[in-house]
Structure 1
Amino acid sequence: ASSSTMVDFLAENNLCGQAILRIVSCGNAIIAELLRLSEFIPGVFRLKDKADQQKYGDIIFDFSYFKGPETCEGKLEAKPELLDLDEEFRENNIEILTRFYLAFQSVHKYIVDLSRYLEDLNEGIYIQQTLETVLLNEDGKQLLCEALYLYGVMLLVIDQKIEGEVRERMLVSYYRYSAARSSADSNLDDICKLLRSTGYSSQPGAKRPPNYPESYFSRVPISETFISMVIGRLRSDDIYNQVSAYPLPEHRSTALATQAAMLYVILYFDPSILHTQQAKMREIVDKYFPDNWVISIYMGITVNLAEAWEPYKAAKTALNYTLDLSNVKEQASRYATVTERVRTQVQQFLKEGCLREELVLDNIPKLLNCLRDCNVAIRWLMLHTADTACDPNNKRLRQIKDQILTDSRYNSRILFQLLLDTAQFEFILKEMFKQMLSEKQAKWENYKKEGSERMTELADVFSGVKPLTRVEKNENLQAWFREISKQIMSLNYDDSTAAGRKTVQLIQALEEVQEFHQLENNLQVCQFLADTRKFLHQMIRTINIKEEVLITMQIVGDLSYAWQLIDSFTSIMQESIRVSPSMVTKLRATFLKLASALDLPLLRINQANSPDLLSVSQYYSGELVSYVRKVLQIIPESMFTSLLKIIKLQTHDIIEVPTRLDKDKLRDYAQLGPRYEVAKLTHAISIFTEGILMMKTTLVGIIKVDPKQLLEDGIRKELVKRVALALHRGLIFNPRAKPSELMPKLKEMAATMDGFHRSFEYIQDYVNIYGLKIWQEEVSRIINYNVEQECNNFLRTKIQDWQSIYQSTHIPIPKFTPVDESVTFIGRLCREILRITDPKITCYIDQMNTWYDIKTHQEVTNSRLFSEIQDTLGTFGLNGLDRLLCFMIVKELQNFLSMFQKNILRDRAVQDTLKALMSAVSPLKGIIANSNKVYSAAIAKTQKIWTAYLDSIMKVGFCDLLVCRIHSSL
């Protein structure tokens, strides 16, 4: 191919480049969508618990459905209640099922598009481009390798995050509920073939299915020539030119880690290499895995090759040397030494005043080497000591891991401290370099001007015109200095190489003139020369500030492999924050370092100008911000722990001081001990606030994290967690208790809520938040959400958590396992009220606003009940009860109607009796002659309907009575 067509493979007018770029961009977006959706799998499709199996077992099918759909549907149609449940299930799940189906469909479409692109290349659709020429182009070979690798990652992610059985059930449900079954062009069959269960389970200790994942990878045939050429490229080239960022040979495997991960995935498309091709496997292991065997394949998904390559003879044999215990020992000991050395080095650099501009500019190689050593050591230790990388049931893996822990003298706290220091060091260096780069030209021009002016002034001194003590006129020197001044002024910033060479020559000339002309004797002349030399030195330093340094730092500082592993350090982070809240500032740099992991999936999406950019950035940034919130939640948690102690002291220990008291009683009221304790705890709370606010507003990915907002959200989250738990535990009633536990429990709950409320009021000034506003917003949210969940029982189309306006991802309201037929505390409260005011056992006297026991005539409860609920749950609680009772009334009326249709409208005998009665009592205004006989005859014939009739009327009536009482309380 002519060089011009390949000059810029990614140019907008290069159709061949744009087509493969779009495919790769799409691949990264699909993986993000799969990861996002995997958190929203409706639990019912897992059929984990007994209740789900009994209720939905007959309407949720796996792929066995396709063997005889008529039989399955026939069973459903035979039972009207099953059909009804099926329809309700469809209404509630079709939206999320469609979203999953579209994601699955996009995976299939992806591989179809890639195969079509390869066919087009083969058939010469793209002028002068073939598979060979694209693979010769730097961007071309990167994109082709990425395209196949991303397809492999998609399949692995699907299997890891969405179990095979669950996928099958979702696909069958989608097929049954959607219009896809009738549309002729639907490729549902192909999608089902690609995504049918593989037998793989991500549960720890689960056995790996035979020929997995190669048989899964071969479900859609892909050009063998393409696979072998891609593997060839990955084996031989450094496709991302990473080695230049890691000049040392011992860093080679880290430099090639991205490529190694791609090769690992792509080898499953050609398993014969793994099984039988000893020489190739030997070469691959020598190049990529001589000193490492735990790798990260995509956004922190880790794989241990010792386990993954166990079933493949050639791969296992080739890896044996790497896994030899003497090699493991050598690597682990090497990293123990490196860690020890770089820890002290980084701590030295981070000392106040050490990283000054001149020191940084004079020591760029040394600083970069230190950064490389730190990052390589952190990477190796984090990956190879990770719990996820070692199956505890595998004796060999356990042995290797124990060996590493011993020989590397592994200590998770020390490793975490090194990560913190490295991130801080990188952050400071990057900020300095960005600053220096932005000021580079201005500073260089300034130094040039200063140096040139000094030379002009010296020329004037030797002209004899300027009086400078004891300097004789010297025309030669005057002319020479003028020439030097001109030379300095002629230096050109844009031609940095020539300017650098010339500056070095000028410095040498100035040193020589000082020696040859015995100018040392005159201090002022010496000073002028020294100053000029200093400015010229600064010019060399400044011209050496290159963007390459920042790029190298970005490559070396990659932390994408820890996207998931970082979670194992959460407890250490939280403990450090609890001990010293100012630690948050150091963590900020670590979070920013982790945010650089977003560059990997976003690079191609950005290059392709894809509209997916926003949603993918939003997803990964959101994940990271959630993690930041999780770590920093320790601050509100610790605050609340202190708060509870303060409440206890204020309510139980500290006596209220009266407005007037005797002087001699002052000591009794002083209570210095408890008051000191309160002051100490309050101080601790304000220190925590200070700690989080020191973090400054930070851009994490594309989400702006404001520490003040983080703190407020954290406090809200902790409040919601504690109040929801208190309500759940406090409002559980024993139906057999005599008398009812209702009033005592409501009183107790009111005291608990009052405690929370008072403490919140107390804390607001110390953490600078609107306590009352937050309290009202969150308590109303908790109650409204619980009412919504309780009312879901009466709704056909239920409100899922992700649809609820009261539920939130950042400040989630916890869900608890139901303890009886009610879903939440609000249901339990409502049913307890209904139980004790049941008209079968109580009688309501309107004038007294009181319920009495029918047998004993004792008071059961009165309108105080509603003021007690108001004290405990506020207006929102009464409102919620009102809503729930209205739902119950509607449900009861529906039951009544269905009973009416079944027992009256369809029963011939009852119909005839009622018609006869109607004619006997007509006209209605008249008086019936023998009424007793007429009515008793009618009642006797319709005996069976009145019990249910009475039940319904009483239920509706006493629910309505409660609603009226609530309304009058409100």
Structure 2
Amino acid sequence: MVDFLAENNLCGQAVLRIVSRGNAIIAELLRLSDFIPPVFRLKDKSDQHKYGDIVCDFSYFKGPEYYDGKLENKPELQDLDEEFRENNIEILSRFYLAFESVHKYIVDLNRYLDDLHEGVYIQQTLETVLLNEDGKQLLCEALYLYGVMLLVIDQKIEGEVRERMLVSYYRYSAARSSADSNLDDICKLLRSTCYSSQPGAKRPANYPESYFQRVPISSTFISMVIGRLRSDDIYNQVSAYPLPEHRSTALANQAAMLYVCLYFSPSILHTQQAKMREIVDKYFPDNWVISIYMGITVNLVEAWEPYKAAKTALNYTLESANIKEQASRYAASMESLRPQVLQLLKEGFLREEIILDNIPKLLNCLRDCNVTIRWLMLHSAESAYDLNNKRLRQIKDQVLHDSKYNVKILFQLLLDTAQFEFTLKEMFKQMLSEKQIKWESFQKEGSERMTELAEVFSGVKPLTRVEKNENLQAWFREISKQIESLNYEDSTAAGRKTVQLIQALVEVQEFHQLESNLQVCQFLADTRKFLHQMIRTINIKEEVLITMQIVGDLSYAWQIIDSFTLIMQESIRVNPSMVTKLRATFLKLASALDLPLLRINQANSADLLSVSQFYSGELVAYVRKVLQIIPESMFTSLAKIIKLQIHDIMEVPTRLDKDKLKDYSQLGARYEVAKLTHDISIFTEGILMMKTTLVGIIKVDPKQLLEDGIRKELVKRVAYALHKGLIFNPKAKSSELMPKLKEMAATMDGFYRSFEYIQDYVSIYGLKIWQEEVSRIINYNVEQECNSFLRAKIQDWQSVHQSTHIPIPKFPSVDESATFIGRLCREILRITDPKVTCYIDQMNTWYDLKSHHEVTNNRLFSEIQNTLGTFGLNGLDRLLCFMIVKELQNFLVWIQRTVLKDKAALDVFKAMLGAVNPIQGIVGNASKVYASAVAKTQKIWSAYLEVIMKVGQMQILRQQIANELNYSCKFDSKHLAAALDNLNKSLLADIEAHYQDPSLPYPKEDNTLLYDITAHLEAAGIHNPLNKIYITTKRLPYFPIINFLFVIAQLPRLLYNKNRGKSCFCFHLTILLTVLKPTCPVSFLTSSEQYCEDLDEAFHHAFVAIDFLTADILTCHIRKSTGVLVITLTIASSVPVSHDSVTGSLHAQYQDLRN
């Protein structure tokens, strides 16, 4: 008969692929459960207020027109909805595919059952498949995995969240219009069950059986699967657990399958007492907490509470006397097993001959240890008991009391058992690999001994006092041939024959009275010893390793092992060498991967790699979590060292007087530093003792693990310091900015010095790690801060700066800023607010308008450089860019929606256009025309001025940042600065040459050189913020005349004031160009005719307006600076200036520049 799992058996391959896919789907659901966007939970009031109208549950389907109408009536809601779609459609699609896979799984299983019923598979029916061992296993697994999927979905992804995600996907995707879409069926299957996994939550009625029945499955199939699970040992596990008291452990996996499958036939749980009594007697006579899949635990007391038959049957197990008996038995086992395992683990005890002679005893010890650990871990697990349930609380208290439960002793037994199991496995694997070589070696030695004895009795080979004996000579030669004829391949016959040969050698020694000759006796003893070794070696079988693998399964602890984390960490902190024992425990836990991967591997599925990576990654993440105590302890010691070095130990001068030597010795403090440094070295040595380990499919290098741990701890501490250190009180009398920056600089210097100190003791590149991680922290926080300005936000899982292994912590925001970099930026903007301060360009300083005191100056940016480094300044510059873009976008929207929609204002603009044309002429009655236009449009200038001042303020800050970056780059790395400057100039020269002669080369679209060099130039401060085009837009009507009127409206404020010096109004016309640029289709490298025309219009009108104003203008000068027109008005005294002198001068210079 063809093997059921053979590639040419279509029936077997079909169900194998279904089961394989089931395991992959569960892995995907578990993976995605960590990436649910928080907004779909709607837990925060802010989220409810913001997204309540666009994130809907299934109530949406009752009246989609109502919800869609809401959106259509509110443009701002449409914008939010579109932004929400852009940010979440990718993750929604991933979730939908997972949900769709669940539905497709059960549809495919039903189709397979129909095919079996209709005879599609020749000579195969449901009954014949269930008679086959593999077929029986796969069909039972197929139903069980579907149940697990549904339970996992309900536990990990709440019903309301599922509904909101499905509705959002329905609204945002094209799936609903697809002809083959099964979205309706998926929604019916996965609609909310009202189940909550929160402790104390009330269980919904008829849950989960009503949930399991949403997609009908053949009742015959369910009945036959439950029948097989009730009656058969479908995995033949009992052979690995021969003792009757271990039977429930042997059948634990099958019991979990039966538990899940019973929900597909709830009548058994409710009414069929005989069946339930049979099930409980077979599977749950001594246990009531089970693991159903990869450590998901279930307490039957709670799970079977609503079912009369199940509850009644389980009451016998839950009798106080039975609980006491079981708990006491395992307490006694733990007491007796610990010394046994410790004895076996003694150095040199487990030798090859000991193992070969005591395989059954060693396996029994392993069984007892694992069974005891399993029962105690499951029945004492916090997650298995809802402490709000009085009965569960009583049962748990009794278990802990009667088992004399001590978590540390249990943990120690787990460690010792894992180490014993690991050692035994490794030795047995080695013996198995050398089995044939050793057996043949013993065979050869035994045969040669017999040949030599035959020669001794031939009389040819002289041996003291041995007479010639032809009979013995012939007999020994025959024995030699018999030994040589033993066949390694036929181990059973060879073993039987070897025993006979040993008996024959004993008899020949007795009957022929050979004891008198010691040399002959020695030959015979040696041969018997070799034959005994051959028997031992032939008994080294792979079945022993398989039994150890079955017995050592720790998949039930996949989740509850986390409750031992603190104990593990404390053990490592006290004794770092404990890591070697933990290595064995982690490898034992890795055996859990066999369960989900077995069928995927058998099916040769492409999912093997992704599922392996997921579970291996989960385990490696747990290993990192446990071992993180080592970097934490190192940093604690390091903080003490730095404190001693800064505050206690005096720096020894270059020259020191002899009589002061004792004062500087400070032996106590130096001893403490040496002791702490030694502790750091010990911790390092401890983790490096772990050796390179393959955890699942991921290789764990202890050195890399240590470095990642140090990076993680550094990131955690630095990120926390930046978060706490850069919180400002806007109501403080004087700004806290500079004091907090100085304090933060000292903190960062402490971290830096500690890294510099530690690097040699732990063999890491301290400076490299410091720069990489600090830059990552700052760039990540800048990215998160900039998210508030983006429609398509960058999620953590999309960020290039965020890491799974070395995560950057996120802290709750304390104000409108999301991160410390936002708080820093907004504090700088607050203290340099142009409404309350005045910026003096020549002094690079801001002064308070009222008190005339200095607020801050360019030393501020030097302090930020000291605190956050180049990364911080660069990040601040990037954030300011986003803020400018936001301001300009809002400004343009305001212009379009307010100014250009105001009919009265538009009439003024049209009239002005008529009045000032032609541009070359002089406006008649200018004073009256301009004054009237400004008066009629007065209401728009305050908002206009506010935008100009905000953008100007941020541009000045960007200039200051660029200056500081450029200065520090030239000072710290003059060669880099020179190289970048030269490369920049040469690139600009080449590009300019290309525009003059298009035949010359120009960078292609796929060439990233310009983008790459721009990033480096900005980081080195080799750029001019005034040249930057922040946004692009279509040309706005009347924009030149609006700007012209704005200038006219503000010029009266440029008056001389003796008390305040030359000017009372900080207004730079250059800043206006930032607003003008997006309205002009112009490159920052070349000027187009359109740009000149717009400037001509706007500035010409501004110039000719001066003739009727009392201006304080001493000189007028226009110059072109790196592509920007700079107009300088020097204010001197309150003297009316003639139109001709000013306008003529400006026009002459402007026309020269334009030409």
- Band the TM-score falls in, shorter-chain normalisation: over 0.9
Distance 1:315 1:848 in 2: 86
**Are 1:614 and 2:609 matched, yes or no?**
yes
Q: Which amino acid aligns with 2:96?
A: Y
Cα deviation, residue 607, structure 1: 0.3
For the pair 1:366 / 2:361, whether they are aligned, the reply is yes
Aligned ranges for residues 719-758 of structure 1 at < 5 Å? 719-758=714-753
Residues 280-291 of structure 1: pairs in structure 2 closer than 5 A: 280-291=275-286
> What's the CA shift for 1:917?
2.3
Which of 447, 452, 457 is the aligned partner of 2:447? 452
Distance 1:892 1:169 in 2: 34
Give the AA of the match of 1:57: G
State the match for 1:650 in structure 2. 645
CA distance in 2, matches of 1:808, 1:104: 27
Alignment partner of 1:442 is 2:437: yes
Aligned to 2:927: 932
Q: How does 1:805-884 map to 2 (within 5 A)?
A: 805-884=800-879
2:408 counterpart letter in structure 1: R
Q: Please give the residue correspondences for 1:666-745 in structure 2 after superposition, counting only pairs within 5 Å.
A: 666-745=661-740
Q: Which amino acid aligns with 1:624?
A: L
Q: Structure 1 residue 398 and structure 2 residue 397: aligned?
A: no
For 2:908 and 2:603, how far apart are their aligned partners in 1?
A: 79
Name the residue aligned to 1:110: 105
Q: Does 1:84 align with 2:110?
A: no
- Tell me which of 269, 276, 281 is aligned to 2:271: 276
Match of 2:315 in 1: 320
CA distance in 2, matches of 1:154, 1:943: 67
User: Helix, strand or coil for the counterpart of 1:736?
Assistant: coil
Alignment of 1:53-64 (within 5 A): 53-64=48-59
**1:768 corresponds to 2:763:** yes
CA distance in 2 between counterparts of 1:486 and 1:525 reads 19
Give the corresponding residue for 2:233. Answer: 238
What percentage of residue pairs aligned between the two structures are identical? Answer: 86
Equivalent position amino acid for 2:825 in 1: C
SS across alignment from 2:846? strand
Instruction: Please list, as runs of the form range in 1=range in 2, the aligned pairs for 1:221-260 lying within 5 A after superposition.
Output: 221-260=216-255
1:910 is paired with a residue whose SS is: helix
2:502 corresponds to 1:507 = yes
TM-score under structure 2 normalisation?
Answer: 0.83
Which ranges of structure 1 fall in alignment gaps of 5 or more residues?
none
Instruction: Please point out which of 919, 938, 947 is paired with 2:942.
Output: 947
Q: Supply the distance in 1 between the matched residues of 2:919 and 2:188 (Cα, whole angstroms).
A: 72
> 2:243 is aligned with what amino acid?
L
What amino acid sits opposite 1:113 in the alignment?
D
Paired letter, 2:902: D
1:124-148 CA-to-partner distances (Å, cap 9, x unmatched) read 0000100000000000000000000
- Cα separation, 2, equivalents of 1:668 and 1:720: 38
Aligned to 1:468: 463
SS, match of residue 755 in structure 1: helix
Task: Specify which of 636, 641, 645 is matched with residue 636 of structure 2.
Answer: 641
Whether 2:491 is the aligned partner of 1:496: answer yes
State whether structure 2 residue 474 is matched by structure 1 residue 479: yes
TM-score by length of 1: 0.99
CA distance in 1, matches of 2:384, 2:87: 39
**1:925, CA displacement in angstroms?**
4.0
Per-residue CA shift, 1:852-885, capped at 9, x if unaligned?
1122211111111111000000000010011000
For residue 835 of structure 1, report the CA deviation from its aligned partner: 0.7
Counterpart residue identity of residue 634, structure 1: I
Distance 2:925 2:115 in 1: 98
Q: 1:891 — aligned with what? A: 886
Partner of 1:791: 786
2:188 partner letter: K
Question: In structure 2, what residue type is equivalent to 1:820?
Answer: D
Q: 1:97 aligns with which of 71, 81, 92?
A: 92
Counterpart of 2:13 in structure 1: which amino acid? Q
Distance between the aligned counterparts of 1:777 and 1:745, measured in 2?
Answer: 24
1:386-425 alignment, distance < 5 Å: 386-425=381-420
Residue 328 of structure 1, CA deviation: 0.2
CA–CA distance in 1 between the matches of 2:260 and 2:674?
A: 59
1:839 deviation in Å? 1.1
Comparing 624-633 with 921-930, greater Cα deviation is found at 921-930
Which whole-Å CA distance do the structure 1 matches of 2:312 and 2:814 have between them? 56
User: 1:502-542 deviations in whole A, cap 9, x for unaligned?
Assistant: 11111111111112222112111111111111101100000
Q: What residue number does 1:581 align with? A: 576
2:263 aligns to what SS in structure 1? helix
Q: Larger Rg: 1 or 2? A: 2
Give the Cα–Cα distance (whole angstroms) in 1 for the partners of residues 546 and 787 of structure 2: 54
CA distance in structure 2 between the aligned counterparts of 1:276 and 1:791, rounded to whole angstroms? 61
Q: Give the structure 1 partner of residue 660 of structure 2.
A: 665
Q: 1:519 aligns with which of 514, 522, 525?
A: 514
Once the two structures are superposed, residues 547-605 of structure 1 have per-residue CA deviations (whole angstroms, 9 ceiling, x without a partner) of: 00000000000000000010000000000000000000000000000000000000000
Q: What is the identity, as a one-letter code, of the residue corresponding to 1:387?
A: E
CA–CA separation in structure 1 for the residues paired with 2:898 and 2:480: 113
Q: Structure 2 regions of 5+ residues with no counterpart?
A: 966-1155
Q: Does 1:139 align with 2:134?
A: yes
Quick check: 1:600 aligned with 2:613? no
- Matches of 2:894 and 2:560, distance apart in 1: 59
Amino acid at match of 1:949: Y
Indicate yes or no: 2:370 matched with 1:385.
no
d(CA) in 2 for partners of 1:230, 1:913: 86
SS of equivalent residue, structure 2 residue 843? coil
Report the CA distance between 1:907 and its aligned residue: 1.0
Matches of 2:898 and 2:537, distance apart in 1: 96
Q: What letter corresponds to residue 199 of structure 1 in structure 2?
A: C
CA deviation vs aligned residue, 1:787-831 (integer Å, no higher than 9, x gap)? 000001111110010000000010000000110111000000001
2:834 and 2:896 mapped to 1: Cα distance? 26
1:162-173 matches, cutoff 5 A = 162-173=157-168
Once the 2 structures are TM-superposed, how far is the Cα of residue 339 of structure 1 from its aligned partner? Answer: 1.1
**What's the CA shift for 1:738?**
2.3
Distance 2:880 2:317 in 1: 69
Task: Give the equivalent residue in structure 2 for 1:43.
Answer: 38
Report how far residue 437 of structure 1 moved. Answer: 0.7
SS in 1 for 2:855: strand
Amino acid at match of 1:67: K
2:547 counterpart SS class: helix
Q: Which has the higher contact order (CA 8 A, sep 6+)?
A: 1
CA distance in 2, matches of 1:903, 1:313: 71
Instruction: Give 1:191 deviation, angstroms.
Output: 0.3
Q: 2:139 aligned with 1:153, yes or no?
A: no
SS in 1 for 2:694: strand
AA at the equivalent of 2:644: L
Shift of 1:927: 4.0
Residue equivalent to 1:9: 4
Aligned equivalent of 2:199: 204
CA–CA distance in structure 2, aligned partners of residues 157 and 902 of structure 1:
51
Give the total of aligned pairs: 965
The aligned counterpart of 1:187 is 182
Mapped to 2, the partners of 1:337 and 1:58 lie a distance apart of: 62
What's 1:303 paired with? 298
2:368 and 2:607 map into 1 onto residues whose CA distance is 36
